């Protein structure tokens, strides 16, 4: 017999001759018809819900429905059998005049050592009923990936979101409704061991904020002996309607990033893993290390000021010499971990760091409130474009800190 999953048989029970004939039907074996409808919900990241409908012919009295799922990872604790309505589409004119068919599920039993169960169903009359069988199914999974194409000026991009469905559930489904919990619903067949990729959404003219960041703790040095910091670049997208997104959270997935080269084609510039991004949150995509922004970081001053006994305040000045060799002005985010600075000039005691900004700090404004934390400061440094003679203007900034109550 062809490999079967969710193959159901309708077995009409019979009893001894002493039971009245109108109460019991004679023994008869009927193969359950093919699925009329299948829906697969993929909105839960840890479980796949399958719901199928079949039209079941019933006889008056007690019926048994046998449900089996050999070689398939169905969670038996999640199987639900429901009778929806009498199926009038399958009935003739005379049958439609009959009283409504009443169907009830009386009990369920599990045959020993089998991947199967049997429902006992009663019917008030002979006829067809539409039933729904739902369950959680393993090895039918989804993932997401993206293609981002930035304009030549890197001000906007087109973001295409794809859903990849992988079916290793050892079962095939015909025309199946698929839904990821957001976006469009798809109607597609799913074959055994098949992978399908579907375009979920395409977002046009999404504004891009390109950032440049220096942070010795997070990103390290490009040239440690010369104290030259690495400056990674990111595209930052805001998932809201003002930025032509915001229809649903952006799912975790790999993002392949391209840029319009201005000659009618695109150039691949990198790929990154886009984090799960709720509404109104930001997705940051790494697009390489800037070679034309130079940041040299040095400890210009470190002094200890005794408070009492072995208790000291540490005064530290970190100097940044910055050059922008780009033809356009940019903003550099200068990020520093106060805890790491303490360890760099003294030692990390393991305690939360107590600190305050000194009056020799030269960055304009206060630390960025959204990006800074209790032990990290982020300042913004505006860098002018390089001059016409190709020389870059060197910008010097200082971070002045007082690290308090250390021993």
Cα separation of 201 and 339, whole Å?
A: 43
Mean pLDDT of 8-25: 36
Cα separation of 354 and 377, whole Å?
A: 13
pLDDT at 2 over 80: no
- Cα distances (angstroms) measured from residue 197 to each of 151, 159, 186, 352, 376: 25, 16, 11, 48, 42
pLDDT at 48 over 80: yes
Residue 383's contacts (CB-CB under 8 Å, 6 or more residues apart) are 293, 322, 324, 329, 330, 331, 332, 395
Place of tokens 């019926």: 63
Nearest one of 230, 375, 402, 394 to 301, comparing CA atoms: 402
Least confident of 83-92, 315-324, 357-366: 83-92
Q: Got the DSSP string for 179-216?
A: E-SSS--EEEEE-TTEEEEEEEEEEEEEE-EEEEEE-T
Query: pLDDT of 183-220, one tens digit each?
Result: 999 999 999 999 999 999 999 999 999 999 999 999 99
SS3 353: coil
Tell which wins on pLDDT, 379 or 8.
379
pTM score of the predicted model: 0.84
pLDDT at 15 over 70: no
Nearest one of 50, 56, 55 to 72, comparing CA atoms: 50
Place of tokens 């829906």: 39
Least confident of 44-58, 61-75, 82-96, 298-312: 82-96
Structure tokens at 341: 């600075």
Tell which wins on pLDDT, 70 or 340.
340
Query: pLDDT of 124-182, one tens digit each?
Result: 999 999 999 999 999 999 999 999 999 999 999 999 999 999 999 999 999 999 999 99
pLDDT of residue 6: 41
pLDDT band at 98 (very low <50, low <70, confident <90, very high): low
pLDDT band at 94 (very low <50, low <70, confident <90, very high): low
The domain locations on the chain are 7-137, 293-406
Query: pLDDT of 362-403, one tens digit each?
Result: 999 999 999 999 999 999 999 999 977 768 899 999 999 999
Tell which wins on pLDDT, 22 or 179.
179
Mean pLDDT of 253-268: 96
Nearest one of 73, 31, 77, 74 to 56, comparing CA atoms: 31
CA atoms within 13 A on the CB side of 375: 15
Least confident of 39-43, 112-116, 197-201, 369-373: 112-116
Place of tokens 């439609």: 96
Q: How far apart are the first and last CA of the chain?
A: 80
Task: Output the average pLDDT for the chain.
Answer: 89
pLDDT at 96 over 90: no
Cα separation of 116 and 5, whole Å?
A: 10
pLDDT at 27 over 80: no
* Strands across the sheet containing 194-207: 194-207, 156-167, 140-150, 253-260, 266-274
Mean pLDDT of 259-286: 97
Least confident of 86-90, 291-295, 355-359, 375-379: 86-90
pLDDT of residue 92: 53
pLDDT of residue 392: 87
Residue 265 has phi, psi (to 5 degrees) of -135, 180
**Is the distance from CB of 66 to CB of 4 less than 8 angstroms?**
no
pLDDT of residue 29: 33
């Amino acid at each position: 017999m062809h490999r079967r999953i969710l193959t159901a048989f309708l077995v009409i029970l019979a009893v001894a001759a002493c039971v009245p004939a109108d109460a019991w039907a004679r023994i008869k074996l009927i193969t359950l018809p093919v699925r009329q409808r299948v829906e697969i919900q993929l909105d839960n990241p840890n479980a796949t819900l399958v719901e199928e409908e079949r039209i079941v012919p019933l006889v008056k009295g007690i019926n048994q429905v046998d449900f089996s799922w050999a070689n398939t990872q169905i969670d038996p604790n999640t199987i639900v059998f429901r009778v929806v309505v009498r199926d009038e589409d399958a009935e003739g004119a005379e049958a439609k005049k009959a009283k409504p068919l009443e169907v009830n599920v009386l009990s369920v039993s599990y045959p020993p050592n089998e991947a199967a169960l049997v429902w006992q169903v009663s019917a008030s009359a002979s006829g067809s009923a539409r039933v729904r069988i739902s369950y959680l199914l393993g090895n039918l999974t989804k993932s997401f990936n993206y293609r981002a194409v930035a304009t030549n000026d890197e001000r906007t991009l087109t973001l295409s979101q794809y859903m990849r469905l992988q079916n290793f559930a050892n079962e095939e489904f015909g025309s199946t409704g698929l839904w990821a919990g957001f976006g469009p619903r798809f109607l597609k067949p799913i074959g055994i061991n098949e992978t399908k990729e579907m375009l979920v959404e395409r977002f046009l003219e999404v504004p891009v904020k390109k950032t440049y960041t220096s942070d010795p703790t997070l990103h390290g040095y490009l040239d440690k002996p010369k104290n030259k910091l690495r400056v990674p670049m990111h595209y930052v997208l805001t998932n809201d309607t003002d930025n032509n997104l915001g229809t649903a959270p952006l799912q975790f997935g790999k993002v392949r990033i391209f840029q319009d080269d201005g000659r009618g084609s695109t150039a691949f510039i990198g790929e990154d893993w886009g984090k799960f991004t709720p509404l109104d949150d930001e997705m940051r995509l790494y697009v390489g290390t800037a070679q034309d922004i130079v940041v040299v970081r040095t400890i210009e001053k470190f002094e200890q000021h005794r408070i009492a006994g072995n208790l000291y305040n540490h005064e530290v000045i970190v100097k940044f010499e910055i050059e922008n060799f780009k033809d356009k002005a940019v903003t550099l985010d200068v990020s520093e971990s106060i805890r790491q600075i303490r360890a760099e000039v003294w030692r990390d005691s393991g305690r939360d760091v107590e600190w305050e900004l000194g009056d020799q700090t030269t960055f304009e404004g206060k630390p960025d409130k959204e990006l800074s934390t209790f032990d990290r400061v982020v300042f913004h440094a505006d860098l002018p474009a390089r001059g016409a003679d190709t020389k870059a203007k060197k910008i010097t900034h200082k971070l002045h800190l007082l690290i308090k109550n250390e021993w």
